[in-house]
Structure 1
Amino acid sequence: MSISTESLLKLIEARRTCYLFNPKEQMPLTDEQIESCLQAAIWAPNHKLTQPWRFWVLGEQTQLELASVYAQLRADKRAEPGTENHLAIYNAAVDKFKAMPRVVLVGQVLAEDVVVRKEDYAACACAIQNLQLMAWQQGIGTQWSTGPILQAEQTYQAINQQADKVELIGALYMGHLRGDCSSQNAKRKPVAEVTEWLA
């Protein structure tokens, strides 16, 4: 079944990065919903079919383990270790990460060739966009984060990967939309302002 040009454009225009999700206890995000988003992701364009993307869908145990990594990095950046403020930021960050309905890590297999590596990153970004659009179609919000947790050694250990083989390029925080985030970042420069039609 085909989708009309108008419907597709409306879907693309409507998608937003979202930070507020309904509690996972009340509105859990199912494996089937995540699977449909991943199915959309793997159909992204990729030069010479390198298929450089890799995905890790965190279960409760791994999410809990990485919550402390996320919180430590966040607290260390914002306050002096050992202070009450540091502890308060740490505890709040643990709660925030644990409360994420689902977390999907996205990685890029690192090709030796520099040009291929650049092309593969673009392909992975396209895969993430596909995933986000499929999620949005289902009423699921996504935040694509590139925070410090992606560089942490503990994160690579948790997913049993080596940073010189696979580079983590995104932590996707996903959940059923809470409230209306459609007005966020709604401005775009007109096509005429960013395009030249050449003879």
Structure 2
Amino acid sequence: MQVVELTRAGDGANRSLLRDMHRLRRKVFKDRLDWSVSTRGDFEKDRYDTQDATYLVVVDRGTVLGCVRLLPTTAPNMLAETFPELLDGANAPRSDSIVESSRFCVDTGSTAATTEGGLRQATFMLLAAMLEWSTARGLKSIATVTDLRMERILRRAGWRLRRIGGPRRIGSTAAVAGLLPIEDDALDAIRRNGGLSGPVLPLKMALPFAA
């Protein structure tokens, strides 16, 4: 397995992985979780899938096993525009040092590799990649909207969400907004708990402004 970084301006190979990523998102968020998401055919895609988005994708022999979307909080994002009620009256994070993560998912039916704690290896690889990517860019935190199940997974992995507001029911999901701090301790814990021996992102992808 490996983690690759994709944008919507990618070459032909990247476009193929982007399509497979949108298929996985449809499979997870619509077919399995039955969330109210925008779908077209086999794909799940929304108005935040723009040129501003960066995607970290776990790939194994050409198959997409997991993904997460990263958006600048200075651009349109889900917490500020779709779920502001989760802020409990606080201002949405808006800073060059904060990005938003969304659409985090792992295809549990296609990846059997797990850690001693029972979480999928692909989950730890995505979390580590988020931290590596953010650290290389000097970011302070990642804003996110997640459900309580995923908050527990983050805690088990070693990355504690700092809640912005209390949980609220969004459709069929108990959702919460928070900030994930970009800290060496969190990355060390995720690598240790996930059995990762080192960085999961290739150096040229982890570094900012890489050629």
TM-score normalised by the shorter chain: which range applies? Answer: 0.3 to 0.5
Q: Which has the higher contact order (CA 8 A, sep 6+)?
A: 1
TM-score of the two chains, using structure 2 as the length reference: 0.34
TM-score of the two chains, using structure 1 as the length reference: 0.36
Q: Identify the structure with the greater strand proportion.
A: 2
Which one has the largest radius of gyration? 1
